[in-house]
A = this chain, B = another copy of it.
Amino acid sequence: MPGISNFWAVIPAGGAGTRLWPLSRSSEPKFLRDLTGSGRSLLQSTYDRLAPAVDDRFLVVTGRAHRDAVVAQLPEVGADAVVAEPSPRDSMAAIGLAAAVLERRDPDAVMGSFAADHVIADAAGFREVVATAVAAAREDWLVTIGIEPTHPSTAFGYIHVGDRLAGHDGVRLVREFVEKPSAEVAEGYLATGRYRWNAGMFVARPRVVLDLLAAGDPGFAATLRDIAAGRVPLEEAWPTLPRIAIDHAVAEPAAAAGRVATVPATFGWDDVGDFDSLATLLGGAGVTVLGDADLVEAQDATGLVVPAGGRVVAVVGLDDVVVVDTPDAVLVTSRARAQQVKQVVDALKERGRTDLT
């Protein structure tokens, strides 16, 4: 079955996944790791999920340090389709550059931007939602995908959903994007049934993305188009681009202007933000093992054990514990404190142990 015509997958592959240290490092970030025990990295799973929808129309944007690893993990995509950012400049520059490239390459292109480090349970359901989004995007909507909340999370931004979009079953208008809420506010959002998690997935024509950007920052959009056209060298122009998230540069003002639609979705999404959410994602009773279960000896324990160092890991008499063993570092914490792992990474950096971070 062929993919969706003229539909291009843009995969921003960035972010260190600091709260998944020591499994995720700046040298081997989260998206390059197999965090689900599937045998495929999160990046590869993202590719697998999108390939039936786009055939070979991929564009991966990653940091220079990870370009070779990305190319090695995705031989089907090809080195030409992997764009290396000279330095990290946040999501607007990365996705905007992809938009400028695709705008020239395919006048009928619709692009979908999907992070390389998320997990989706129902890939077929995901593609159905994407197809719905693409149909709306062809009519110049900026379309986001609105994940049905399973709990009042304070870790995600929310999409405030409005009326139905005429002529598009399953598509709603977006009233506004709202920032990560307090627990109380999140409870309220859930109760109304009109809020969805913002998973940072955007589907739109490249021209629409760039024109929406140009409405707020004409120079930014012009520079991206100049880079794509070869009128200015990437190396030279890149450091001059603003560091801003696409949410602030494009999505929020576009929503205020009534230009954003959303496809509410229930395909099972997780951004695997920390070891607590990884444990939930992997599920299972007792101790969940990510990796070789023969390496784990657990007694009267529950939680998550990642024996990624080849050593035996024995856990005795601890509930909701998290143990991550790697060749050069061991992390021991609880699911409840998993968010705090970021501070360990900060502390190690301060101590000059950047070899570990």
Contact = CB atoms under 8 A, between A and B. Distances in A.
Contacts of A343: 299, 316
Nearest to A355: B312
A81 interface: no
A297 interface: yes
B347 A312 contact: no
Interface stretch (A131-139, A195-203, A322-330): A322-330
Contact of A328 (B297, B312, B333): B312
B329 A316 contact: no
A323 to B, nearest CB: 5
A300 B231 CA distance: 54
Contact of A347 (B22, B297, B332): B297
A181 B348 CA distance: 47
Interface in A293-326: 294, 297, 299-300, 309, 311-318, 321, 323, 325-326
Contact of A300 (B294, B332, B340): B340
A312 B343 CA distance: 15
A341 interface: yes
Nearest to A345: B314
A344 interface: yes
A104 interface: no
A334 interface: yes
Contact of A340 (B317, B326, B330, B348): B317
Contacts of A243: none
Contacts of A340: 299-300, 316-317
Contacts of A313: 329-330, 332
A354 to B, nearest CB: 12
Given A316-B337, A317-B336, A331-B316, A344 B299 contact: yes
A260 to B, nearest CB: 39
Nearest to A322: B316
Given A317-B334, A337-B316, A340-B317, A329 B311 contact: yes
B318 A348 contact: no
Given A312-B353, A348-B297, A356-B312, A330 B325 contact: yes
19 contacts: A22-B314, A299-B343, A299-B347, A309-B311, A311-B328, A311-B329, A312-B328, A312-B353, A313-B329, A314-B333, A316-B334, A317-B336, A317-B340, A318-B332, A318-B333, A318-B337, A323-B330, A323-B332, A332-B332
Given A309-B311, A316-B331, A317-B336, 17 more contacts: A22-B314, A297-B348, A299-B340, A299-B343, A299-B347, A300-B337, A311-B326, A311-B328, A314-B331, A314-B341, A314-B348, A316-B333, A316-B340, A316-B341, A318-B321, A325-B330, A332-B332
